[in-house]
Amino acid sequence: GGSAMAAVRDVEIDPEGTFKYILVRLQRPGGGEQRDIVRGTKAAEFHNHIFEKVNPEMEKLGYECKCLGGGKIEHSSKDKKIRVFGLSTGYGKADHSVTVEILKKEYTDYEITWSDDKK
């Protein structure tokens, strides 16, 4: 049961730069287990580009995906800092505090902050 969901990484973001991100809820059809994941990349011009890539991958694993909102991530691996801010026009603002908690699981030695600033 739980192995497929365990195989899904909590966080997949670019190692450097400022880019769009989305918070996605994965759920087994009909309820049951669910978890939230963070995905972000400079390759995405719009937030929905990220979702359009994640959704089919997760559907193959048997999950329903729901985008909980988006924003931007500023990632400096040199300084070990991540800043979460902004919002998605299409999906609305993700709960950045939730995003930060997920990021902390992956980037344990980072300083991770968030704000509602647009820039």
Model confidence pLDDT, tens digit, residues 5-43: 667 999 999 999 999 999 999 998 887 789 999 999 999
State pTM to two decimals: 0.93
Q: How confident is the model at residue 113 (pLDDT cuts 50, 70, 90)?
A: very high
Cα–Cα separations (whole angstroms), residue 35 to 24, 98, 118? 8, 11, 27
Report, as an integer, the average pLDDT of 44-69: 96
Q: Give the rounded percent of residues in the chain with a pLDDT score beyond 70.
A: 95
Q: Cα(58)–Cα(12) distance, rounded to whole angstroms?
A: 14
pLDDT value at 70 more than 50: yes
Strand partners, 20: 41, 72
By annotation, the residues acting in catalysis are 47
Whole-number pLDDT of residue 32:
79
Q: Give the rounded percent of residues in the chain with a pLDDT score beyond 90.
A: 83
Whole-number pLDDT of residue 75:
98
Assigned superfamily of 11-115: Janus/Ocnus (3.50.20.20)
Tell me: is residue 20 an annotated ligand-binding position: yes
